[in-house]
Structure 1
Amino acid sequence: MTISALDLAAETKRLLTELGVSADRYIGGTLRVTSPVNGNEIGVLKEHSALEAKDAIEAAHQAFLEWRAVPAPKRGELVRLLGEELRAAKAALGRLVSIEVGKITSEGLGEVQEMIDICDFAVGLSRQLYGLTIATERSEHRMMESWHPLGVVGIISAFNFPVAVWSWNAALALVCGNSTVWKPSEKTPLTALAVQALFEKALKRFVAESGAAPANLSTLLIGGRDVGEALVDHPKVPLVSATGSTAMGRVVGPRLSQRFARSILELGGNNAAVICPTADLDLTLRGVAFSAMGTAGQRCTTLRRLFVHESVYDKLVPRLKTAYGSVSIGNPLETGTLVGPLIDKQAFTNMQSALEQARAAGGKVTGGERVENGAGDAFYVRPALVEMPAQTGPVEHETFAPILYVMKYTDFDQVLELHNAVPQGLSSSIFTNDMREAETFVSARGSDCGIANVNLGPSGAEIGGAFGGEKETGGGRESGSDAWKAYMRRATNTVNYGKTLPLAQGVRFDVE
Structure 2
Amino acid sequence: MSESSTTSPSYEMSSTKKEYEFIKEIGLGSRNLGCYVNGLWQGNGPVISSVNPANNQTIAEVVEASIQDYEEGMRACAEAAKIWMQIPAPKRGEIVRQIGDALRAKLHYLGRLVSLEMGKILAEGIGEVQEIIDMCDFAVGLSRQLNGSIIPSERPNHMMLETWNPLGIVGVITAFNFPCAVLGWNACIALVCGNCVVWKGAPTTPLITIAMTKIVAGVLEKNNLPGAILTTFCGGAEIGQAIAEDNRIPLVSFTGSTKVGLMVQQIVNQRFGKSLLELSGNNAIIVMDDADTELAVRSVLFAAVGTAGQRCTTCRRLLLQESIYHKVLERLLDVYKQVKIGNPLEKGTLLGPLHTRALRENFEKGIHKIKSQGGKILTGGNVIESEGNFVHPTIVEISPNADVVKEELFAPVLYVMKFKSLKEAIEINNSVPQGLSSSIFTHKPEIIFKWIGPQGSDCGIVNTLNLYNQLWERIAFGTRNQLWVVNLLFAQNNRLWQLF
Indicate whether the TM-score tops 0.5. yes
Consecutive unaligned residues of structure 1, counting only runs of 5 or more, are: 1-6, 208-212, 493-512
Alignment coverage as a number of residue pairs? 467
Q: Does 1:20 align with 2:27?
A: yes
Q: Is the Cα–Cα contact under 8 Å of residues 476 and 483 in structure 2 kept in the other structure?
A: no
**Counterpart in 2 of 1:389?**
399
Q: 1:318 to 1:466 in 2, by over 3 A?
A: same
Match of 1:488 among 479, 487, 490: 490
Q: Is the Cα–Cα contact under 8 Å of residues 179 and 205 in structure 2 kept in the other structure?
A: yes
Higher relative contact order (CA 8 A, sep 6+): 1
For the residues of structure 2 that align with 1:23 and 1:363, how far apart are their CA atoms?
46
Q: 1:26 Cα shift?
A: 5.6
Match of 1:57 among 74, 80, 103: 74
Q: Is the Cα–Cα contact under 8 Å of residues 325 and 367 in structure 1 kept in the other structure?
A: no
Q: 1:283 Cα shift?
A: 0.7
Q: Does 1:300 align with 2:312?
A: yes
Match of 1:46 among 50, 63, 67: 63
What is the SS of the residue equivalent to 1:231?
helix
Q: Name the % identity.
A: 44
Q: Is the Cα–Cα contact under 8 Å of residues 462 and 473 in structure 2 kept in the other structure?
A: no
Q: 1:63 Cα shift?
A: 0.7
When the two chains are superposed, the root-mean-square deviation of aligned CA atoms in Å is: 2.2
**Counterpart in 2 of 1:316?**
328
Q: Is the Cα–Cα contact under 8 Å of residues 26 and 190 in structure 1 kept in the other structure?
A: no
For the residues of structure 2 that align with 1:134 and 1:410, how far apart are their CA atoms?
53
For the residues of structure 1 that align with 2:477 and 2:52, how far apart are their CA atoms?
28
For the residues of structure 2 that align with 1:167 and 1:303, how far apart are their CA atoms?
24
Q: 1:9 Cα shift?
A: 4.5
- Look at both structures and tell me which one has the larger radius of gyration over its CA atoms: 1
Amino acid at match of 1:490: Q
Q: Is the Cα–Cα contact under 8 Å of residues 156 and 242 in structure 1 kept in the other structure?
A: yes
Q: 1:139 Cα shift?
A: 2.0
Q: For residues 90-142 of structure 1, what are the alpha-carbon distances to aligned partners after superposition, in whole Å with 9 as ceiling and x for unaligned?
A: 01101111100111111111011101100000011000112233232222111
Q: Is the Cα–Cα contact under 8 Å of residues 57 and 152 in structure 1 kept in the other structure?
A: no
**Counterpart in 2 of 1:129?**
146
Amino acid at match of 1:336: G
**Counterpart in 1 of 2:268?**
256
**Counterpart in 1 of 2:53?**
36
Q: Is the Cα–Cα contact under 8 Å of residues 30 and 59 in structure 2 kept in the other structure?
A: no
Q: Which structure 2 residues correspond to residues 62-461 of structure 1 after superposition, within 5 A?
A: 62-207=79-224, 213-365=225-377, 366-372=379-385, 375-376=386-387, 378-455=388-465
For the residues of structure 2 that align with 1:41 and 1:464, how far apart are their CA atoms?
42
What is the SS of the residue equivalent to 2:487?
helix
Q: For residues 123-179 of structure 1, what are the alpha-carbon distances to aligned partners after superposition, in whole Å with 9 as ceiling and x for unaligned?
A: 110001122332322221112321111011111000000011111111111101011
What is the SS of the residue equivalent to 1:484?
coil
Q: 1:54 Cα shift?
A: 2.1
Q: Is the Cα–Cα contact under 8 Å of residues 57 and 237 in structure 1 kept in the other structure?
A: no
Match of 2:477 among 461, 467, 479: 467
Q: For residues 460-496 of structure 1, what are the alpha-carbon distances to aligned partners after superposition, in whole Å with 9 as ceiling and x for unaligned?
A: x99994432236xxx2514xxxx232x111249xxxx
For the residues of structure 1 that align with 2:15 and 2:107, how far apart are their CA atoms?
19
Q: 1:13 to 1:348 in 2, by over 3 A?
A: closer
Amino acid at match of 2:362: N
Q: 1:88 Cα shift?
A: 0.3
What is the SS of the residue equivalent to 1:489?
strand
For the residues of structure 2 that align with 1:464 and 1:490, how far apart are their CA atoms?
28
For the residues of structure 2 that align with 1:362 and 1:42, how far apart are their CA atoms?
41
Q: Is the Cα–Cα contact under 8 Å of residues 54 and 234 in structure 1 kept in the other structure?
A: no
Amino acid at match of 2:444: D
Q: Greater shift after overlay, 387-396 or 305-314?
A: 387-396
Amino acid at match of 1:34: V
Amino acid at match of 1:164: A
What is the SS of the residue equivalent to 1:25?
strand
What is the SS of the residue equivalent to 2:76?
helix
Q: 1:16 Cα shift?
A: 3.1
For the residues of structure 2 that align with 1:80 and 1:464, how far apart are their CA atoms?
28
Q: Is the Cα–Cα contact under 8 Å of residues 361 and 392 in structure 1 kept in the other structure?
A: yes
Amino acid at match of 2:445: M
Q: For residues 413-444 of structure 1, what are the alpha-carbon distances to aligned partners after superposition, in whole Å with 9 as ceiling and x for unaligned?
A: 12211111111111110111111111111111
Q: 1:12 to 1:147 in 2, by over 3 A?
A: farther
Q: Is the Cα–Cα contact under 8 Å of residues 274 and 431 in structure 1 kept in the other structure?
A: yes
Q: 1:20 Cα shift?
A: 2.7
TM norm structure 2: 0.89
Q: Is the Cα–Cα contact under 8 Å of residues 266 and 476 in structure 1 kept in the other structure?
A: no
What is the SS of the residue equivalent to 2:337?
helix
For the residues of structure 2 that align with 1:462 and 1:437, how far apart are their CA atoms?
13
Q: 1:452 to 1:37 in 2, by over 3 A?
A: same
Q: Greater shift after overlay, 38-47 or 128-137?
A: 128-137
What is the SS of the residue equivalent to 2:203?
coil
Q: 1:11 Cα shift?
A: 4.9
Q: Is the Cα–Cα contact under 8 Å of residues 199 and 233 in structure 2 kept in the other structure?
A: yes
For the residues of structure 1 that align with 2:119 and 2:326, how far apart are their CA atoms?
34
Q: 1:410 Cα shift?
A: 0.6
What is the SS of the residue equivalent to 1:180?
strand
Consecutive unaligned residues of structure 2, counting only runs of 5 or more, are: 1-13, 35-42, 495-500
